[in-house]
């Protein structure tokens, strides 16, 4: 059996001529035009990034390496007696494009096990931070603190061929991912469970071990696996993925790049939206004295939020134009495991009420729910009620996709990213408002 690294190298060798040919022979072919609205408006729809790890169709949602979410959940191997696949298998899929066998999954799990020991100085640093520091700040700082461990940074100093950059990035990827469940669970137990740390169990898989260290019984292991897989990647243009790609394009190593991408994920319009959803629902819950609002009452809460100039968290998307399949996957899990939960009933009611209101208001291009509209409710049900922590869970998952992308960026020799900026004067000239 070829190891993951051997398999990856084989794929890289096959892929390189395609990229080289495109640049050499077709480099002048136009991909798209860019309008002033796009230049000012956050580059929406500008086709200027390449990734083969995932693709986001506006109407179909995400495909990981060509597979839809239900296909990924069905095809990847699962731990015995579990509903959700091994996260390790998803790592293999994202890196190679192939569905791994049980043995190939076991090899990745073994690699993670060997590399999972978190240096003591990371815990010491976390303990030195004020306890009320946001968990995303702690998570990002913990990863940044390990930058001294980077294999790539060391190899670069020693001198390494550009063709081989992907190899130490791959080593950094496995070393870093292997430690993320322990760091995330440590932050959780230190901050919110009176500093009662649960040591890892080396016999468990990525998701199972995370649930164990969180101190939460089954089926939270499946929630963890589902959550990490669903959040892993959403093509390259979203803030976290793009930040990781951009930072690493300067040959900053993975520790720098992943810490930076987490800082982008921590924004309320991006990953932090899942915390905002729960905060918002809790507000309604309190106003309603714990009872489920009627449809009319819920509509009023939604309009009140919009009329106060705020967004409805968990709804809308920059690319998607239908219900996010990551929302649907979580909804199916909730319908099976927590159909009577009061907060799930809220989410269910919002699914009914919000889209027509956003359509009536006529601003949001996508009135449908995104992944964040559902994530918090499942966590809440299983006892993770400190919603500040939800984005850390998102971050563990997203790191898998961003790392995979960066390894491939180096394998295909993508250069440092450097778009060109213009001045407002120049745009006015281009628009014909002002003469030069």
Binding site for ligand COA (CB under 6 A): 269, 273, 306, 311-318, 363-366, 370-372
Contact 315, 353 (CB under 8 A): no
Number of helical H runs and strand E runs in the chain: 20, 3
Cβ-proximal residues to 199 (8 Å cutoff; 6+ apart), any chain = 213
By DSSP bridging, strand 67-68 and strand 61-64 are antiparallel
- Which residue, 313 or 401, is less far from ligand COA as judged by CB? 313
How many Cβ atoms are within 10 Å of 52's Cβ, its own excluded? 17
- Which residue, 269 or 430, is less far from ligand COA as judged by CB? 269
- Which residue, 22 or 37, is less far from ligand COA as judged by CB? 37
Catalytic (active site) residue 234 = no
Residue 290 CA to residue 248 CA, distance in Å, equals 47
- Which residue, 253 or 324, is less far from ligand COA as judged by CB? 324
- Which residue, 259 or 366, is less far from ligand COA as judged by CB? 366
Report in angstroms how near the CB of residue 242 gets to ligand COA at its nearest: 14
DSSP state at residue 53: S
- Which residue, 122 or 312, is less far from ligand COA as judged by CB? 312
Report in angstroms how near the CB of residue 372 gets to ligand COA at its nearest: 5
Choose among 248, 266, 245, 268: nearest CA to 256: 248
Segments in 116-219 forming alpha helices (H): 120-128, 135-145, 151-158, 166-192, 206-214
Choose among 105, 107, 115: nearest CA to 77: 105
Report in angstroms how near the CB of residue 169 gets to ligand COA at its nearest: 27
- Which one of the listed residues 231, 242, 317, 374 is annotated catalytic? 317
**Could you give the strand order of the β-sheet that contains 61-64, starting from the edge strand earlier in sequence?**
54-57, 61-64, 67-68
Distance of CA 200 to the CA centre of its chain: 23
Contact 87, 95 (CB under 8 A): no
- Which one of the listed residues 212, 234, 245, 270 is annotated catalytic? 270
Report in angstroms how near the CB of residue 407 gets to ligand COA at its nearest: 24
Class of residue 322 by CB neighbours under 10 A (exposed 0-12, middle 13-18, buried 19+) = middle
Report in angstroms how near the CB of residue 398 gets to ligand COA at its nearest: 11
Report in angstroms how near the CB of residue 428 gets to ligand COA at its nearest: 22
- Which residue, 391 or 405, is less far from ligand COA as judged by CB? 391
Backbone φ and ψ for 54, nearest 5 degrees, come out as -150, 160
Catalytic (active site) residue 245 = no
Residue identified by tokens 């963890």 is: 224
Catalytic (active site) residue 231 = no
Question: Residue 168 is encoded by which pair of tokens?
Answer: 């130490």
Report in angstroms how near the CB of residue 325 gets to ligand COA at its nearest: 13
Report in angstroms how near the CB of residue 305 gets to ligand COA at its nearest: 8
Contact 187, 138 (CB under 8 A): yes
- Which residue, 5 or 365, is less far from ligand COA as judged by CB? 365
The total number of residues shown for the chain amounts to 436
Question: Residue 436 is encoded by which pair of tokens?
Answer: 């030069």
Choose among 284, 273, 288: nearest CA to 350: 284
Residue 379 CA to residue 361 CA, distance in Å, equals 31
Segments in 193-322 forming alpha helices (H): 206-214, 220-230, 239-249, 254-265, 273-287, 295-307
Q: Which residues are catalytic?
A: 270, 317, 372
């Amino acid at each position: 059996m070829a190891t993951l690294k051997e398999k990856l190298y084989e794929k890289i060798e096959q892929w390189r001529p395609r990229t080289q040919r495109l640049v050499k022979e077709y480099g002048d072919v136009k991909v798209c035009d860019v309008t002033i609205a796009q230049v000012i408006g956050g580059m929406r729809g500008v086709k200027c990034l390449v990734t083969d790890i995932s693709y986001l169709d506006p109407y179909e949602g995400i495909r990981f390496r060509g597979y839809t979410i239900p296909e990924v959940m069905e095809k990847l191997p699962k731990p015995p007696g579990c509903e959700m696949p091994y996260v390790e298998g998803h790592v293999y899929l994202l890196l190679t494009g192939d569905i791994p066998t049980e043995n190939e999954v076991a090899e990745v799990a073994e690699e993670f096990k060997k590399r999972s020991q978190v240096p003591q100085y990371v815990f010491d640093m976390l303990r030195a931070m004020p306890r009320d520091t946001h968990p995303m700040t702690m998570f990002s700082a913990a990863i940044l603190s390990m930058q001294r461990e980077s294999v790539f940074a060391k190899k670069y100093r020693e001198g390494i061929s550009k063709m081989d950059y992907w190899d130490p990035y791959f080593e950094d990827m496995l070393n870093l991912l292997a430690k993320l469940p322990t760091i995330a669970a440590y932050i959780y137990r230190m901050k919110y469970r009176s500093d009662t740390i649960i040591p890892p169990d080396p016999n468990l898989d990525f998701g199972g071990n995370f649930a164990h260290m969180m101190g939460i019984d089954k089926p939270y292991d499946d929630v963890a696996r589902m959550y990490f897989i669903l959040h892993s990647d959403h093509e390259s243009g979203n803030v976290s993925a793009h930040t990781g790609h951009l930072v690493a394009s300067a040959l900053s190593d993975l520790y720098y790049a992943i810490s930076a991408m987490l800082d982008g994920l921590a924004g309320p319009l991006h990953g932090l939206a899942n915390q905002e959803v729960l905060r918002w629902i809790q507000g309604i819950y309190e106003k309603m004295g714990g009872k489920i609002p009627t449809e009319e009452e819920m509509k009023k809460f939604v309009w009140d939020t919009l009329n106060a100039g705020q967004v409805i968290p968990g709804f809308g998307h920059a690319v998607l134009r239908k219900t996010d399949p990551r929302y649907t996957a979580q909804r199916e899990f909730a319908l099976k495991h927590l159909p009577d939960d009061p907060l799930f009933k809220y989410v269910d009611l919002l699914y009914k009420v919000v889209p027509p209101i956003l359509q009536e208001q006529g601003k949001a291009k996508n009135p449908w729910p995104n992944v964040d509209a559902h994530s918090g409710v499942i966590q809440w049900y299983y006892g993770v009620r400190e919603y500040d922590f939800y984005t850390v869970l998102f971050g563990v998952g997203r790191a898998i996709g961003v790392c995979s992308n960066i390894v491939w960026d180096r394998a295909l020799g993508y250069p440092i990213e450097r778009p060109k900026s213009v001045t407002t004067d120049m745009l006015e000239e281009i628009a014909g408002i002002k003469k030069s």
